[in-house]
Amino acid sequence: MNGKHIEQKIVDTLKVNYMPYAMSVIVSRAIPEIDGLKPSHRKLLYTMYKMGLLKGTKTKSANVVGQTMKLNPHGDMAIYETMVRLTTGNMALLHPLVESKGNLGRVYSRDMRFAAPRYTEVKLAPISEELFRDIDKDNVDFIDNYDGTMKEPVLLPAVFPNILVNPNQGIAVGMASNICSFNLKEICNATIAYIKNDDIDLMKYLKAPDFSTGGQIILNEQEMRKIYATGRGSFKVRAKYRFDKENSCIDIYEIPYTTSTEAIIEAVATLIKSGKMREISDVRDETDLEGLKITIDIKKNSDPDDIMNKLYKLTPLEDSFGCNFNILIGQKPMVMGILEILDHWIQFRMDCIRRKSEFDIKKKSEALHLLTGLSKILLDIDKALRIIRSTEQDAQVVPNLMKGFGIDKIQAEFIAEIKLRNLNREYILRQTSDIEKLKNEIEDLKDIVAHDARVLEIICNQLEEISKKYGQDRKTEIIGEEFIEEVSAENFIEDYNLRLFLTNQGYLKKISLISLRSSGEQKLKDDDFIIQEIETHNKADLLLFSNKFVVYKTRIHELPDSKASQLGDYLSNILSLEPGEEIIKIHATDNYSGHFLFAYENGKMAKIPVSSYATKTNRKKLSNAYYAESPLVEMFFLEEDMEFAAFSSIDKVLVFNTSQINPKATRDSQGVWVLKSKKGSTLSKIVPLSESNLKDPEYYRANVPAIGCYLKEEDKEDTQMSLL
């Protein structure tokens, strides 16, 4: 090579090297044609047809694979894998084309390997006869095989729309094809209806796709109509299950066509390990000779329907089938809707029927021609015998018969070949009695060729016959989208009762009540103490008020679980608090009902609805949480109005009911005067009346705003003790 290299434009390289390869993959390998088959399927099935496997007994798969190599120059394993998918044993097709014996794996199992071809046996399934009907009557084109030693069909004359009855998937270069399967009866009925009336509502006849693995299709009618019209789109398929109450387990017995038992089991096992599905204790594959079965053990008193709704969301137990109806029409890939596919299939079948009719016309015309010649000698059998007997040379027998009866060479040859014993009136009359019948048949066939309506009538009759003979009930159940329970993220949150502890140094502990019952003393830092504890549940929201007039919002389920023996979570880290910022109060709520009472040093108080802290967006931080101009003495949550005792810095006391304070919607409202100032006094303490230890509370009661009354001597000691 003397080290030289040749420069070539990338475009030229693609044209010369890549484009032929891409074209070959598209046209000769990956994309199905109008008969519903890829070349590899067609070559295999035709080989089996030629081997006489439509009738008789099964033969070893290895035998079929070897014979197929005459048409398909690939390795034996590639050919065998092609065959496996077509078998009854593998269950990949709604109507398997190959009847099998032995282990051919399962379409729903990724790991179940099929046995070697020497162990399995096959023959063509009865329905395959409909793919080959009249193939020996010139109804499709034949071409040479790869080495020119034999002929093979370009397409099989499929009498039903196999392209839509059996699923097909192929990945070519730069394009792919994914065709779902439909119920044979529904497809036949839809095709007949379409032939009789162009303007049909396809959904009326073709309810939804149908899969060999069953399951349930979630029908979104709008999306399905789009798929039917364009050949593109997707729909959801989910598994079917039953609940075994006695053994407290869920048995899954049908799964989406697009997944495998192994993928489902792995996904469920991952959920169990991660603790996301605590209601499930085990999952295992119990598939046996009776069929597919995945068993999920659940804890007693768990709701199986709720568990399955979660599993549908989190595992391939519910999966999508993406449609891409890409089909080769005259070596050109086209993505089409169903009616367009049926148009091409009907055209193809019309061509097949016309070609078969022309073949029959030719054969029957030839027979008629011979019988017409035979009928002429019926007029004078003795003359025919005389001509033959008086002819001296064998070569002159035919010319002499032609001359004697005014017939052509073909007719004369036929007469000359008749056995002597058959040269009697009875035999010749019997033979020629078919002349009128043949003439009528030829006329009828010519009428078929000439009229589309006759051809379409034949197609409809054949479809009715096939529907009756091979049709079966739907395997995949249809469920309207409106009947499916919508599972939100909320459904996956485990709810349980718990207690929250807030400490002086800014630690928060979330401890379930079950854990609390069995735990000892709360672990805290040496100089730390609990400033607030509240009881709530895991699905509630939490409001955390800081000394910087900010409220932080979080979902309690987002906080990690803690134990009494742990310090808890440091809020400064969790909430990213500013330097010097501390959480002073927490409040858990489900529905943002009730009010907060903010009591300020200047004697003003604000009653703010908790709903003022609710936001439509998931905001984590709200500023202006409360009034900033006067120091906050205390805040309380009011489920309803209640009695309080307010203490001033000069030992004045005011007892009042919060119903006297009008609510303010603005979070940082300064509120209203409650405890009036005297000689510069300020609000120093406020407590619920029930905790005040006042012996005669009515003595201190007044309508707000008020200065209050001096604390009685008898209340001083008790009150001070209670406030310490």
Asked if residue 83 lies in contact with residue 99, where contact means CB atoms within 8 angstroms, the answer is: no
Q: DSSP labels for 659-707? A: GGS-B-SSTT---EE-B--STT--EEEEEEGGGS--S-GGGGB-PSSB-
Instruction: Let me know whether 55 and 136 are in one domain.
Output: yes
pLDDT digits (tens, 9 = 90+) for 215-274: 999 999 999 999 999 999 999 999 999 999 889 999 999 999 999 999 999 999 999 998
What pLDDT score was predicted for residue 634? Answer: 95
Distance between CA atoms of 607 and 590, rounded to whole angstroms? Answer: 20
CA distances from 279 to 255, 317, 511, 515 (A): 21, 17, 20, 18
> What total number of domains does the chain contain?
5
105 occurs within a structural domain: yes
pLDDT digits (tens, 9 = 90+) for 85-144: 999 999 999 999 999 999 999 999 988 889 999 999 999 999 999 999 999 999 999 999
Residue 487 pLDDT exceeds 70 = no
Instruction: Let me know whether 366 and 459 are in one domain.
Output: yes
480 occurs within a structural domain: no
Per-residue 3-state assignment (H helix, E strand, C coil) for 69-129: CCCCCCCHHHHHHHHHHHECCCCCCCCCCEEEECCCCCCCCCCCCCCCCCCCEEEECHHHH
Q: Which of 63, 105, 108, 64 is nearest to 88 (CA)?
A: 105
Low-confidence winner among 18-27, 377-386, 476-485, 604-613 (lowest mean pLDDT): 18-27
What pLDDT score was predicted for residue 80? Answer: 95
Sheet-wide strand order for 59-60? 59-60, 121-124, 98-101
Q: Strands 59-60, 551-555: parallel, antiparallel or unpaired by DSSP?
A: unpaired
CATH number (domain holding residue 458): 1.10.268.10
Half-sphere exposure for 21 (CA within 13 Å, toward CB)? 8
Instruction: Let me know whether 572 and 632 are in one domain.
Output: no
CA distances from 210 to 88, 229, 261 (A): 17, 18, 19
Asked if residue 70 lies in contact with residue 149, where contact means CB atoms within 8 angstroms, the answer is: yes
Instruction: Let me know whether 251 and 303 are in one domain.
Output: yes
Instruction: Return the number of other C-beta atoms located less than 10 Å from residue 58's C-beta.
Output: 18
166 occurs within a structural domain: no
Residue 720 pLDDT level (bands cut at 50, 70, 90): low
Q: DSSP labels for 635-666? A: EEEESS--EEEEEETTSEEEEEEGGGS-B-SS
Q: Where are the beta strands (DSSP E) in 102-231?
A: 121-124, 142-144, 151-153, 168-171, 176-179, 216-219
CATH number (domain holding residue 287): 3.30.1360.40
Residue 483 pLDDT exceeds 90 = no
Instruction: Let me know whether 114 and 61 are in one domain.
Output: yes
208 occurs within a structural domain: no
Residues with catalytic annotation? Answer: 119
Low-confidence winner among 118-127, 188-197, 560-569 (lowest mean pLDDT): 560-569
- Domain termination site, one of 300, 316, 332: 316
Instruction: Let me know whether 311 and 250 are in one domain.
Output: yes
Residue 724 pLDDT level (bands cut at 50, 70, 90): very low
Residue 155 pLDDT exceeds 90 = yes
CA distances from 7 to 4, 11, 67 (A): 10, 12, 45
Residue 3 pLDDT level (bands cut at 50, 70, 90): low
Instruction: Let me know whether 564 and 638 are in one domain.
Output: no
What pLDDT score was predicted for residue 723? Answer: 47
Instruction: Let me know whether 441 and 532 are in one domain.
Output: no
Instruction: Let me know whether 634 and 603 are in one domain.
Output: yes
Helices (H), 304-434: 304-314, 338-378, 381-390, 397-405, 409-416, 425-432
pLDDT digits (tens, 9 = 90+) for 662-716: 999 999 999 999 999 988 899 999 999 998 888 889 999 999 999 999 998 888 7
173 occurs within a structural domain: no
Residue 290 pLDDT level (bands cut at 50, 70, 90): confident
Instruction: Let me know whether 134 and 46 are in one domain.
Output: yes
Asked if residue 121 lies in contact with residue 114, where contact means CB atoms within 8 angstroms, the answer is: no
**Assigned token pair, 551:** 């409220």
Distance between CA atoms of 45 and 132, rounded to whole angstroms? Answer: 9
666 occurs within a structural domain: yes
618 occurs within a structural domain: no
Residue 28 pLDDT level (bands cut at 50, 70, 90): low
234 occurs within a structural domain: no
Distance between CA atoms of 283 and 297, rounded to whole angstroms? Answer: 6
Instruction: Let me know whether 414 and 499 are in one domain.
Output: no
**Assigned token pair, 206:** 């073709």
Which residues span the domain enclosing 509?
Answer: 493-590
CATH number (domain holding residue 69): 3.90.199.10
Residue found under tokens 């401890």? 511
Q: Per residue in 313-335, is it b (16+ CB within 10 Å) or e — as a string?
A: ebbbbbbebebbbbbbeeeebee
Instruction: Let me know whether 441 and 372 are in one domain.
Output: yes
Distance between CA atoms of 141 and 135, rounded to whole angstroms? Answer: 9
